Amino acid sequence: MDQFLSIETFDQWRDQARELLAREVPPAEVHFDTRSDQPSLFDNDDAQTGPADQRHVRNAVAKVPKSFLDLAKIVACHQSPARWELLYRTLWRLTHGESSLLEIATDDDVHELQQMSKAVTRDVHKMKAFVRFRLVESEAEETYVAWHRPDHRIVRLAAPFFSRRFKAMNWSIFTPWESVVWDQKQLRYGAGVPASEVSDEDSLEELWKTYYASIFNPARVKVNAMKREMPVRHWKTLPEASVIEDLLDEAPRRVSEMIEKNEGFAETATNYMPTESDLASLKVAAECCQACDLHRFANQMVFGEGPRDAKIVLVGEQPGDREDLEGRPFVGPAGQLLDECLATAGIRRDEIYITNVVKHFKFTERGKRRLHKKPDSREIFACRPWLEAELAAIGPTTLVCLGATPAQALFGRDFRITSGRGSLRPTEWCQRTIATWHPAAILRMPDPARKSQMIENLVSDLVTAVA
């Protein structure tokens, strides 16, 4: 007999799925509907089932990989009404003889889940980029508000980022689906609101418009690229977007003035040429980056390299001496060792994307030699947007951190490569992220036996990444 269930949140689906599994209800007999009047089940109340039922539920859930639960929490934020039935069907298969299902990328259900996950993850990145806070006058403490229209229900995924970035502010973000309030202590979630309930103008907006106009470079205008990275539907929620049309109209005149006055136009002329891909545009833009002092001493910026549709992305720490001279990542001794390990693991280098957390070579001069010097946290933070933009453009299936610096940048500063190496974990940028040794660290290892073991570890971790 078919069952029709009303589901709104991941927690509601999780509890219903537990009960369905305990009663051995097959996916074909379950149909989920979405509505907002269901009570929240965030408390995970076990009183809904008796002791015997609950025992069966726990036994069923114990067989589910953590990677599926992490994936399900993201997919649950997708707008598709089919998500709940897809999740339950996958859960049923995982607990009924297909425990390795998620490793089969070509499976229709797995592929659809991954596509939904990527769509939600991209939407989270867009929210981080497009949300603009506006000051609201109040007799109490200053409060900042923002209204955003995401494609999916991603507020709970994105809110922790804003609480870390704007920790010392009182702010609220409103979307049509849900709202979140931060009082410098905790995040509180509520119902969504329409755009009409958020005021249009204030002094903070005007300040942002002035800033945006001051940094606008008419020689870099690519309207199609702007629409790809800043969709037109978001323009009306961004303060700076209201001045875009005026700035575009003025661009030809301002370009002419730059040519006549020779104010750095030679440096920006190449940026005016059309590009073939988002990654190419990012590389051109990164060549002008002066966010930290490393650009003053390095020969050139070394951007990532590889196909736009790469399934695997390798992230190192920074370019070395040879990379700084040639302008390509991993072409020196460490790169040669990496190539050997990739070949042993059965991975073609031309099918993966390779980049670094920091794009300029940091070094200490010893006579005629330039010796590697580890970048500090400020330099890593300054370069981080480029890495995040690369990952957002590619959307890899697996992310490999080569060494402690990229691992701590993506997993957190408490991550230790000696204890955390070799295990797949979800991160904000990829559901399958793994850390391993950096080839340069292997080359510096004086103990031959230890060096051989590290090479075996690196190859093994690369094989895990491909699996």
Is 133 in contact with 166 (CB distance < 8 Å)?
Answer: yes
Both tokens of residue 211?
């800033």
Pick the closest to residue 453 from 423, 418, 429, 413 (CA basis): 418
Alpha-helical segments (H) within 359-447? 377-394, 404-411, 417-420, 439-444
- DSSP symbols for 151-211: SS--HHHHHHHHHHHTTTSEEEEE-SSEEEEE-SS-EEEEE---GGGS----HHHHHHHHH
pLDDT (tens digit, 0 to 9) for every residue of the chain, 467 residues total? 556 677 778 888 898 888 888 889 898 888 876 654 433 323 333 333 333 344 344 444 446 888 899 999 999 999 898 999 999 999 999 998 888 899 888 899 999 999 999 999 989 988 887 787 777 655 556 777 788 889 999 999 999 988 888 887 888 888 888 888 888 888 988 888 776 665 555 533 443 444 345 444 554 455 555 555 555 555 555 555 555 556 555 555 554 554 444 433 333 323 322 234 478 888 888 888 888 889 888 999 999 999 999 999 999 999 999 999 999 999 999 999 999 999 999 999 999 999 999 999 999 988 888 999 999 888 888 888 889 889 988 999 999 999 999 999 888 888 899 899 999 999 888 999 999 999 999 999 999 999 999 999 999 999 999 88
Distance CA 272, CA 262 (A): 15
The whole-angstrom separation of Cα 114 and Cα 102 is 10
DSSP state string for 252-276: HHHHHHHHHHTSSHHHHGGGGS--S
The bridge status of strand 178-182 relative to strand 170-174 is antiparallel
Q: Pairing mode, if any, of strands 398-402 and 432-436?
A: parallel
| CA dist 52 → 48, 59, 60, 64, 314 (Å) | 12, 11, 13, 20, 48
What residues does 305 pair with on adjacent strands?
354
pTM: 0.45
Beta-carbon contacts of residue 11 (< 8 Å; ≥ 6 apart): 40, 41, 42, 44
* DSSP state letter for 415: -
Sign of torsion, CA 14 20 22 24? negative
Quickly tell me which residue has 């070509």 as its tokens: 106
Check: CB of residue 100 under 8 Å from CB of residue 127: no
The token pair at 392 is 């957002």
